[in-house]
Amino acid sequence: MPLPPALDQKIRSRFDELIGETNELSLKMRVQEEENPGKNFPNYGHISEFQAAVVKVLNLIETVLGESQRQREITERIKTRTANSRTPSLLEEINGTLHGLKDVYENGFLDDLETRVAANISADYMTQVEGLLDEGKPGQYDHVPGAVLCGAVLEDALRRLCERQTPQVATRKPNGDPINLNSLIQDLQKANVFNKLKADQLRAWAKVRNYAAHGEFSEFTRNDVELMVSGVKNFLADYL
């Protein structure tokens, strides 16, 4: 599943901004170095600009690589190299790292970023669901909005699971209409993504969502929604 266009463009623009910034700063430092031959470079000029650039670069690296071994290795190398030395050559090395990561990102070799973003979005929505339940008043159908939102998170998760399969499990009919939730569950079970017991649980949660969405509030209880929320959270953790 691709990143939201706005987020994708923001990351691409940030790469360009920092590549330009580190390149410009390294040129300024080169000029100052040439004008002050033999001087101890870390002790004069552009120290704050250098440090600010490093912090921004490390932030972008963490954004695109997450808490991965690759991220830790690159971050540790930059921190170690720049701890006691702030030279144009180091900044040029960082600039080269940015160019490399930008190429990797733009050529689609950071699929784990898409997974992490989607997982974070789902987690945010589930937090909202729990908030709706906590703030409501039992007996006044306060659990209905939570059921609808939780069902939407579940449907999105199932569609993403379909897209991850090889071959992909279809999420749309030949005419372009989206395949319904129960059919997605059935198709994923056929693809051995999960067993019949899990499929039956998913169908039960889908039924609660449908009741809530169609105003059939007497067909489910607050407790049903609370169990649904707990189950969907576990499902997201296990399968996504």
User: What CATH number should be reported for the domain holding residue 234?
Assistant: 1.20.120.330
- What SS3 state is found at 178? strand
Contact by Cβ (8 Å): 75, 58: yes
Q: What is the pLDDT of residue 85?
A: 78
Q: Hey, is 236 helix, strand or coil?
A: helix
- Across 132-148, average pLDDT: 75
pLDDT for the residue 43: 43
> Which of helix, strand or coil describes residue 113?
helix
Tell me what pLDDT residue 109 has.
63
In contact, 145 and 132? CB cutoff 8 Å = yes
Domain final residue, candidates 54, 88, 106? 106
User: Residues 213-226: pLDDT tens digits?
Assistant: 888 888 999 899 99
Q: Count up the domains in the chain and report the number.
A: 2
Residue for token pair 């789902």: 122
Strand partners, 178: 172
- Of 106, 133, 168, the residue that ends a domain is 106
End position of a domain, from candidates 106, 136, 151: 106
Residues 27 and 136 in one domain: no
In tens, the pLDDT along 176-193 reads: 888 999 999 999 999 999
pLDDT over 70 at 44, yes or no: no
By residue range, what is the domain housing residue 65?
5-106
Asked if 135 and 128 touch (Cβ cutoff 8 Å), the reply is no
Q: What is the pLDDT of residue 105?
A: 82
For the chain, the average pLDDT equals 83
Query: Residue 166 burial by CB count (10 A; 0-12/13-18/19+): exposed, middle or buried?
Result: exposed
Domain identity same for 90 and 19: yes
Long-range contacts of 109-113 (CB under 8 A, 24+ apart): 110/64, 110/65, 112/66, 112/68, 113/3, 113/64, 113/65, 113/66
More confident residue, 99 or 124: 99
pLDDT at 65: 81
